[in-house]
Amino acid sequence: MMSTESITLESGKKHTKRYPVRPSITVYDLVPLILFILVISLIFIIKPRLANVQFVELKANAGLTLVLATAGQTLALLTGGIDLSIGGVLSLTSSLAATMMTDEPLNILLWCAIILLIGMGAGLINGYVIAVLRVPPFIATLASWSIFNGLALLVLEDPGGHVSEPLRALVRSDPLGIPNSIVFIAILIVAWLLFKRSKWGTRLYAVGSDEAKAYLNGTDIVRTKMLAYVLSGCFAAVAGLYRTVEVGLGSPIAGDPFILTSAAAALVGGMSLAGGRGDLVNSILGAFIMLFIFDLIQFAGISSFYTPMVQGLFLILAVTLNTIGYRLQIRKALEQ
């Protein structure tokens, strides 16, 4: 193919209108950040002494599992799908990590690799069933969640097992002076920002925005969806491993709470079930908002039974704000 710049379009160059450069982030993209600041401010108002480094470290460590699950979920949502199998994969890798991993460095490396492969395999299966067999994502991943959950129960009947101590020590160390969980989240954000602007990132948004039109533009729909679910599977697998190391034991049902919470977190962060919209950074904020609501209720001395209710209300609030923002943005642009 000839490069773009080689086209001659005759009649000489004419200087056309230049539009003012607008900031790439609009106020509407900041809704999750504003909600995040709101929730964390409330916590610090109720318990001012929590505003310290230890609290941040504690929350980052505890929140990383949900952040990972939400990151995977975000990629699936971006294509217009959903990944319910996150729960099953997380349970399976959690169970495997708690039963198979020893203190041997080689064994640890081997099982880390196997766990990643399991995530990748789960994603390939989901991607194949969804993109090639064209089973709706909700059904396809509901089925694979069930399958992986069954496998997890074969590996580990009840919560328990043991944790590989060297791995735990490694995860808990802070070679850079900051907790590894925070370093990991930072790396995740940087990688995302690079990916978002790459060819594959653009395709992911394109497929979610309008699959038929993405196809007309030459996108390989199957490969793009495969990529989303493979990454989602890998995130879930790593989340399962991390949770086992963090909590100190494995569980064959470890993943279940993360299925819907990851979706809710991503939606609070401005993702759309229709796909093509949203940003992983905002999803991560969404994950922390969900976690901090839990803390907020506890610190306010309210029974934790109210947590799901408040989380539900917050989900409606956030999605309403995001939707209004999205519409306002379009209306404002069209009026100009």
What φ, ψ does residue 277 adopt, rounded to 5°?
Answer: -130, 155
Distance CA 300, CA 224 (A): 45
Choices 14-22, 28-36, 118-126, 300-308 (CB under 8 A): range interacting with another protein: 14-22
Residues 289-308 that bind another protein (CB under 8 A): none
Please, how many CA atoms are within 13 Å of residue 27, restricted to the half-sphere of its CB? Answer: 7
What's the one-letter identity of residue 317?
Answer: L
d(CA 212, CA 293) in angstroms, rounded, equals 39
Amino acid found at 103: D
Task: Name which position in 5, 48, 54, 304 contacts another protein (CB under 8 A).
Answer: 5
Binding mask 85-124 vs another protein (x if CB under 8 A, - otherwise)? ----------------------------------------
For residue 260, the minimal CB distance to another protein (Å) is 25
Residue type present at position 335: E
CB nearer another protein, residue 205 or residue 235: 205
Q: Is 299 helix (H, G, I), strand (E, B) or coil?
A: helix
What would the DSSP string read from start to end of 62-129? Answer: HHHHHHHHHHHHHHHHHTT---TTHHHHHHHHHHHHHHH--S-HHHHHHHHHHHHHHHHHHHHHHHII
Task: Scan residues 164-223 and list those touching another protein (CB under 8 A).
Answer: 194, 197-199, 202, 205-206, 208-210, 213-220
Q: Does residue 21 belong to the site contacting another protein (CB under 8 A)?
A: yes
Check binding of 57 to another protein (CB under 8 A).
no
Cα dihedral value 70, 80, 317, 84, nearest 10: -40
Task: Indicate the residue among 79 and 144 with the shorter CB distance to another protein.
Answer: 79
For residue 334, the minimal CB distance to another protein (Å) is 6
Q: Pick from 50, 57, 277, 321: which binds another protein (CB under 8 A)? A: 277
| Least distance (Å) between residue 325 CB and another protein | 13
* Interface positions with another protein (CB under 8 A): 1-2, 4-19, 21-22, 24, 194, 197-199, 202, 205-206, 208-210, 213-220, 276-277, 329-330, 333-335
